Structure 1
Amino acid sequence: MKNHVLIVEDDEMLLEFLEENLSVNGYKATAFESPTGAIEFLENNGVDLVLTDVKMDDMTGDEVLSHVLENHQETGVIMMTGFGNITHAVRALQKGAFDYITKPFKAKEIIFRIDRYFEAGSAFNKQHKINAFTQDKKQKEPKKTAEESSEEVIQQAEKRFIGENRQVNQLMDILPKIATSTAPVMIQGESGTGKEVFANLIHKNSNRSDAPYIKINCANLPRELVESTLFGHVKGAFTGAISDQKGAFAEAHGGTILLDEITEIDIQIQAKLLRVLQEKEFRRVGSQKPIECDVRVIATSNRNIAEAIADGKFREDLYYRLNVFPISIPPLRERKEDIPLLVDYFINRYTEKYGLESKEVSDDLMEVLIDRKWNGNVRELENKIHRGVILSKDNDVITLDHVEQNMFAKLDLEVSEEVLSDLPLMSIEDMELQLIKKALEHTQGNQKEAAEILGITDRTIRNKIKKASSNDNNEESQ
């Protein structure tokens, strides 16, 4: 039996094109120029998917979506929109649309999107819509405080991975298959690309979504507490162990654990992680009693894994055990077509958070944003838009001056001049260390801010400080 697609589009030529294209590709297609006519048809006929335009005269695509969400939860919705309506489309995705596509599009592209809907499976789609419908119902309840509303916006943002880039589409295509598995996942990508966002999506769409989801930032764990944090300890195991501690793996039993920046874990602890993956058990610090665990492991890293293995910093056998599903998140500079989508998404996020009217960015600012290299990736873009939303105040257009104000540029310049001044002749290695120390003094020890000033990663700062400390200790022992 053919899958039935209902097309709602008030452009007669596009409507005919879509109807013919879907029919040629094996779908049963029913087309309506009038959205009200389409709704009437939907009441008396079984339809698997609704493909609807956003902007129409009689009824908007958002209204079509709301009707389908409330009355036909087994039916999916894909939105079609022009560039000017991207904001509406992003909000539609939050409400429960399965996907959207921007005009103009090619015949293969729309078929790809429709195929993806049916390949994703009705159960995945149904849960996606139920979650969105529940959220929509909550929005109709008595108005929440500003703090409650902003928290909901943040939670919604964590459930989305915005993008139209080919690699992003491939990631979203494979997400349902990865989510329903229990195999380990290794997610690689530069800082700020969205590794944790994708990890969250895996858990949220898995059979473990109602079970614990424990997140551990391995880069921030003190070395002496890593094993205890992961596996727990018994009373008296070491100085300060005044009671038993369960540990992250015990807390995550039956659910998922995210090991963010796993390559920062000490090589000896990596061996114990390998044991957990192989034998499904671990031992608390100070105990020889094995504890069984049912935990799915998702790991992330912004490092070059091959280099880390070659340098003896990461176990090759652990890498292959984790690498059942190797996921690579592309940097923002490789998916610049997604920048307008992300800009609109973050504008919506922060205008809602601060209770402001909707805004847009100027053409000049958009051009600058698209041309920028974005070393900090999506996180850096989000920070710029966040700043722009706040500084544009009552203006409905965010301009370049709001995002790149002279006071910020001047501060960056002053910091750079301070860091680079008054350095005596020395080795390159010592000079690097002096630059790092000066930057840290200026930022009052904030490694992320110091890294941005110097144009390096905070991991590089940690490694160089660690190496310098190790050299100092060796000199003292001699």
Structure 2
Amino acid sequence: MKERVVIVEDDKMLLEFLVENLSMNGYEVEAFESPIEATEYLKENEAGLVLTDVKMDEMTGDEVLAHVKENYPDTGVIMMTSFGNITHAVRALQKGAFDYVTKPFKAKEITFRINRFFESDKIDFNKERKIQALSETPQKDDEQSATPKSSGKVVQPTDKKFIGEAPSIQKLMQILPRIAASTAPVMIQGESGTGKEVFANLVHQNSNRSDQPYIKINCANLPKELVESTLFGHVKGAFTGAISDKTGAFEEANGGTILLDEITEIDINIQAKLLRVLQENEFHKVGSQEAIESDVRVLATSNRNIAEAIAEDEFREDLYYRLNVFPISIPPLRERKEDIPLLVNYFVDRYTDQYGLESKKVSDDLMEHMVNKKWQGNVRELENKIHRGVILSTDQDTITLDHIEKNLFSKVDLEVSKEVLSDLPLMSIEDMELQLIKKALEHTQGNQKEAAKILGITDRTIRNKIKKAQSEEE
């Protein structure tokens, strides 16, 4: 009898990948984008394991975990997150989660963790639990709802806005209506956390396609073996495990817009197929010779140096020029310091409203600190700091520097680090290098250039070593 796994994940593309992967590996799978629907299903049906995302709108992953452990104590829970940290991992495990995995992950990794759960016979979890400090993945921008478009006007999203009065930001807002009115591809470049995805959302929302599908694909999260299928779909029997036809992102986005976030992470062989879509407005499903017409506007983002990626044969030059009809560059926060007070106050208001708190102000010392900070993580880092400050100052009307910078979890992190280090086996120098690279990337939130500075090597060396390790695993 097949073991049943219930998946709760509001990212439709990732949900489809997980269903396909687990079905191929012999599991009976029930998939839900809605955590409420998943909990309703569990009332009438047994499941051996629940695989749940952490950040969802209707319920959080923590709430799903609490519900399952209270009502179905024999059912295991594995949590997935794009923004996890070691403190949250520890708490999740203490609350009864069997495992905790950080996105992006490979197909083999998630399958291994699920197999391990069922092989453990679901007993004595504590002996099996080990914290794996995977690289923290920068938090994704929330999906923004489309709003009716007014001719020639910028329609701001209801959730996140592009806040700024700096000349560079005002220039972007001025040209936005003209970019949105076109159907030409757009290439948006900038450091992680600057707001590339927010700008892309605005382009779609202000276009005449705003009432049509808007499909977002995080190219860095796509498992290599399923990239082509995810983008273009496949036909039944195209490869082992292709038990039925599958609709790809380009077919789903027909008539609308597709955002290829971090496009430089797509395998160079698949880039040739993307070029064909842009040149000929058609594509083929994997395993099919039939051409499918494509009426899709393509938006792309990258935080990499494109010229460097092209020189290293990691990105096609012809694809870059095809995408670069409207080259957009989002400036880092340190180059528009005059916008920092606006952003601080915006996020304070946002999170006090979200938590139903009274209005708060920011102390003069904290504001000065925020304006002078270098902000390697840009607007995303600033938002996370303010979010933390609002939570930690719940009973106070002023957010201070202590609320933002005080390390409340150092003791927990230290204890976990000791546990991990005490269990660290002897390994080769090559494996140790990978461990150091991994730790440096955790420290820099995935920023390879900053990690390279810490280690005294080049970011190209980091990429090469990671690629080599991945190819050896495959």
TM-score w.r.t. structure 2 length? 0.61
Change (3 A) 1:463 1:383: farther
How far, CA to CA, are the matches of 1:212 and 1:472 in structure 2? 37
CA-CA distance at 1:464 after TM superposition? 3.5
Report the secondary structure of 1:191's partner residue.
coil
How far, CA to CA, are the matches of 1:330 and 1:416 in structure 2? 36
Report the secondary structure of 2:188's partner residue.
strand
For structure 2, list consecutive stretches of 5 or more residues without a partner in the other structure. Answer: 1-148, 453-458
The one-letter code sitting in structure 1 at the alignment partner of 2:216 is K
1:436–1:450 contact (8 Å) kept in structure 2: no
Verify: 1:456 aligned to 2:457, yes or no: no
- Residue 152 of structure 2 corresponds to which residue in structure 1? 124
Q: Which deviations, in whole Å up to 9, do the C-alpha atoms of 1:370-415 show, x marking residues without a partner?
A: 1111111100000000000000012111001111114256777889
Q: Which deviations, in whole Å up to 9, do the C-alpha atoms of 1:165-224 show, x marking residues without a partner?
A: 111111001000000000000000011000000000000000000000000000000011
2:444–2:450 contact (8 Å) kept in structure 1: no
CA-CA distance at 1:356 after TM superposition? 0.7
1:412–1:453 contact (8 Å) kept in structure 2: no
1:260–1:299 contact (8 Å) kept in structure 2: yes
CA-CA distance at 1:471 after TM superposition? 6.2
Q: Which deviations, in whole Å up to 9, do the C-alpha atoms of 1:129-166 show, x marking residues without a partner?
A: xxx8xxxxxxxxxxxxxxxxxxxxxx6233x2000111
Report the secondary structure of 1:200's partner residue.
helix
Report the secondary structure of 1:312's partner residue.
coil
2:264–2:304 contact (8 Å) kept in structure 1: yes
- Residue 313 of structure 1 corresponds to which residue in structure 2? 314
Change (3 A) 1:231 1:266: same
- Residue 333 of structure 1 corresponds to which residue in structure 2? 334
Report the secondary structure of 1:124's partner residue.
coil
Q: Which deviations, in whole Å up to 9, do the C-alpha atoms of 1:295-340 show, x marking residues without a partner?
A: 0000000000000000000000000000000000001111111110
CA-CA distance at 1:465 after TM superposition? 2.7
- Worse-superposed segment, 461-470 or 178-187: 461-470
CA-CA distance at 1:433 after TM superposition? 1.7
How far, CA to CA, are the matches of 1:291 and 1:223 in structure 2? 23
The one-letter code sitting in structure 1 at the alignment partner of 2:276 is R
How far, CA to CA, are the matches of 1:396 and 1:247 in structure 2? 49
Larger Rg: 1
Change (3 A) 1:413 1:174: farther
Verify: 1:157 aligned to 2:152, yes or no: no
The one-letter code sitting in structure 2 at the alignment partner of 1:282 is F
CA-CA distance at 1:432 after TM superposition? 3.8
How far, CA to CA, are the matches of 2:421 and 2:335 in structure 1? 32
- Residue 363 of structure 1 corresponds to which residue in structure 2? 364
- Residue 435 of structure 2 corresponds to which residue in structure 1? 434
Verify: 1:169 aligned to 2:170, yes or no: yes
Which of 1 and 2 has higher RCO (CA within 8 Å, sep 6+)?
A: 2
Q: Which deviations, in whole Å up to 9, do the C-alpha atoms of 1:14-60 show, x marking residues without a partner?
A: xxxxxxxxxxxxxxxxxxxxxxxxxxxxxxxxxxxxxxxxxxxxxxx
The residue correspondences of 1:2-21 to structure 2 (distance < 5 A) are: none
2:444–2:451 contact (8 Å) kept in structure 1: no
The residue correspondences of 1:137-152 to structure 2 (distance < 5 A) are: none
Change (3 A) 1:343 1:234: same
- Residue 233 of structure 2 corresponds to which residue in structure 1? 232
The one-letter code sitting in structure 2 at the alignment partner of 1:214 is I
Q: Between Structure 1 and Structure 2, which shows a larger proportion of helix residues?
A: 1
Report the secondary structure of 1:401's partner residue.
helix
How far, CA to CA, are the matches of 1:290 and 1:196 in structure 2? 30
- Residue 295 of structure 2 corresponds to which residue in structure 1? 294
How far, CA to CA, are the matches of 2:212 and 2:335 in structure 1? 35
For structure 1, list consecutive stretches of 5 or more residues without a partner in the other structure. Answer: 1-120, 133-154, 441-446, 474-478
Report the secondary structure of 1:456's partner residue.
helix
2:437–2:451 contact (8 Å) kept in structure 1: no
The residue correspondences of 1:155-304 to structure 2 (distance < 5 A) are: 156-158=158-160, 160-304=161-305
Count the aligned residue pairs.
318
1:235–1:243 contact (8 Å) kept in structure 2: yes
Verify: 1:387 aligned to 2:388, yes or no: yes
How far, CA to CA, are the matches of 1:420 and 1:369 in structure 2? 35
Percentage identity across paired residues of the two chains:
74
How far, CA to CA, are the matches of 1:370 and 1:173 in structure 2? 25
The one-letter code sitting in structure 2 at the alignment partner of 1:456 is A
2:268–2:316 contact (8 Å) kept in structure 1: yes
How far, CA to CA, are the matches of 1:452 and 1:281 in structure 2? 35
Change (3 A) 1:170 1:452: closer
The one-letter code sitting in structure 1 at the alignment partner of 2:294 is C
- Residue 12 of structure 1 corresponds to which residue in structure 2? none
